[in-house]
Amino acid sequence: MIDLRAFDLGTEVCAEEPIRQLAKAVGWECEEQYQLPSGSRIDFLMTVRGNHNILQFGVECKPKLSSTYQRGLHVTKLADYLEQCVDYSRELGLPVFLGPYVGTGNLPMGGFNNVSSIDAFTLFGGRLNVGVLHYQYWVNWDATQEHRWMLVLRGKRMWRSYALASQESVGPKGYYDRDVMTMCATQGSSKKRVSFLKPIKRIATVEAIK
């Protein structure tokens, strides 16, 4: 799996390259600078084709999404990024993920009173159909290093490159959680979630009809 630490994240152009390589490695069809109806362009529109459904989502790339960069995760910057991602999500009718974010810990699953700026982005942005493309790495007690990728939406992993338990089998393209593939469509006090998976329409051939 792509090791993000090998890349320079100091500029947006540089930060885009590991996203391209990740998409190729896990089988995401990648459309760059995808034009929206308004004329705006999102950095990436990803398409994942299954046997029965098509999964699509946007990725908006930003540089320095790491605590190793001074002000890289400043709350004002993340608020600006959230506003942009929300606008793209509304135009696409799909979730949009900000990335690549580099972190050593898990993003919050909820229930915290004190959170970091990126934690707040994840928790509040998820209600607006915006998530995070998260790269996580750590050093084990025996000095070995591990790393992994995930798409986090509303504090849950929509896709991950790794197994959660030793008995779980995850292929080279990762694991997808269909239960997380929903958009918030809340109306007033009525909480509502709508799947954004698109069924593949199968067209019968003339021979099949005969």
168-198 confidence digits (pLDDT tens): 667 778 899 999 999 998 777 777 889 999 8
Q: Give the structural domain span for 126.
A: 4-209
Rounded Cα distance between 147 and 135, Å, is 7
Q: Give the per-residue pLDDT at 24.
A: 95
Write down the pTM of the prediction.
Answer: 0.89
- The mean pLDDT value for 192-209 works out to 67
The Cα angle at residue 19 between residues 14 and 21, in degrees rounded to 5? 100
Tell whether the model's pLDDT for residue 56 goes beyond 50. Answer: yes
Total domains, the chain = 1
Rounded Cα distance between 72 and 62, Å, is 10
